[in-house]
Amino acid sequence: MQQVEQASVVVLGTGGTIAGTAAQAGDNIGYTAAQVTVDQLLDAIPMLPGALGGRRLVTEQVAQVDSKDMSVAIWRALAARCRHWLADASVQGIVITHGTDTLEETAWFLQTLLRPGKPVVLTCAMRPATSLAPDGPQNLLDAVAVVQDPAAQGVLAVCAGVVHGARDVRKNHPYRLDAFDSGDAGPLGYVEEGRVRWVKSVTFEADPVVKWSPDAIDLILDQPVWPWVEILTSHAGASGAVADLLVQGGVHGLVAACTGNGSLHHDLEASLLRAQAAGVDVVRATRCALGQVLPKAGDQLPHSNGLSPVKARVSLMLNRLAAQATR
C-alpha cells in the first residue's frame, strides 16, 4: 500500500510586533518588536493542536526583525524558504509571522515572485506579545485556519479576522487592531471561530505588472545586486532636485507617489522626464489612499496599474531584476 505522508503546515517567523515585548504589560506602543521566537508564539496558543487537526507543524525562524527594517537579504531568504517548502508535496501551505509596517510589501513581493498555487498566509499583530490583551495569538490561529482552507491559494494576509489578497492589502491605521484594508477591492473573506467565510473567490489571473516567466525565479534570487529604486512624493512646493541627485547617484528606478490621478508638480515632472530619458525606469502611482491612476492620452510617464507606491516599487525592482537576470 502506498504510504501517505502526513500533511504539514509550515510557520515561518520574521519578527514584528507579534513577537514584540514591552517592559510593562499595559504598554502597547513603547515596546521592542521581534523578541519572541516563532516557537514561543505558537506554544502560547493552547488550542493550536486542535486547529491543526492532526497536521504536522514545521517552524523556522527566517528572520527576527522590526519590519520597518525589512531588507532585500531577508526577502531573498524568505522567498527561498517559501520555495523550498512549497515544493514539498506534504506541505499544505505556509504561515508567515511578520510586522505590520511592511507586510503589504512582503506580501506583494512573494505573490509576484512565487505566484504560489498553495496558500502563503502572512499574519501579524498591532499589540506586542506582552500586552494585557495581545491580538497576535488570535491572528496566528486565524492564519492557521486560512492556510488549511481548501479554497485558499496565493499570498494572503490575515489580521483582525479579515482575509486580504496580496495585491490590495494595505495598512491604513497606525494603532487600531483592525489596521488593514483592501481599498476599493474589499476583503476576500473573514475568519469566524476557526472557519473561513469567503466573500470572493480567490483567483489570481496573470497580473499586467509581472513581466517575466516563473522560470526566471532562480535567476532573480541569484542576482547579487538588486536594483536601486526610490519613491518620491509630489506635494505642494515639490522640486526636481532630489530626483536629479538620485539620477546622478545611479538610481535605477523612481516611483512617483503622485497627487490625485497621477499628476505631478511641474518641477518634479520635468526632472522625472529627464530621468526616464536617461534610462531610469519611472512609474506613477497615486498617493491617494483609494483608487488608482487612470491613464489618459498624452501621458508621458507610465502608471502603476493600480499598485500603491510601495508595491509599484517592488514590481519595478523585480521587473528590472528579471530583465537583468535573463539578458
User: Which residues contribute to the site for ligand SIN (CB under 6 A)?
Assistant: 15-17, 33, 66-68, 99-101, 124, 126
CA dihedral 21, 25, 27, 29 (to 10 degrees): 30
Cell numbers at 83, concatenated: 520555495
Cell numbers at 233, concatenated: 512624493
Question: If you ran DSSP here, which 8-state letter would residue 263 be given?
Answer: B
The distance of closest approach from Cβ of residue 126 to ligand SIN in the complex, given in angstroms and rounded to an integer, is 5
Contact 166, 175 (CB under 8 A): no
Query: Is 17 assigned a catalytic role?
Result: yes
The distance of closest approach from Cβ of residue 17 to ligand SIN in the complex, given in angstroms and rounded to an integer, is 3
Q: Please, which residue, 82 or 126, has the CB nearer to ligand SIN?
A: 126
Among the listed residues 271, 263, 276, 267, the one whose alpha carbon sits nearest the alpha carbon of residue 238: 267
Q: Please, which residue, 17 or 153, has the CB nearer to ligand SIN?
A: 17
The distance of closest approach from Cβ of residue 218 to ligand SIN in the complex, given in angstroms and rounded to an integer, is 29
Q: Please, which residue, 100 or 153, has the CB nearer to ligand SIN?
A: 100
> What is the rounded distance in angstroms from the CA atom of residue 167 to the CA atom of residue 182?
8
Q: Of 17, 100, 102, 286, which residue is the catalytic one?
A: 17
Q: Please, which residue, 8 or 32, has the CB nearer to ligand SIN?
A: 32
The distance of closest approach from Cβ of residue 223 to ligand SIN in the complex, given in angstroms and rounded to an integer, is 26
Among the listed residues 81, 160, 72, the one whose alpha carbon sits nearest the alpha carbon of residue 116: 81
Tell me how far the alpha carbon of residue 200 is from its chain's centroid.
20
Position of minimal CB gap to ligand SIN:
99
Q: Which residues contact 142 (CB under 8 A, 6 or more apart)?
A: 123, 158, 161, 191, 194
Active site residues: 17
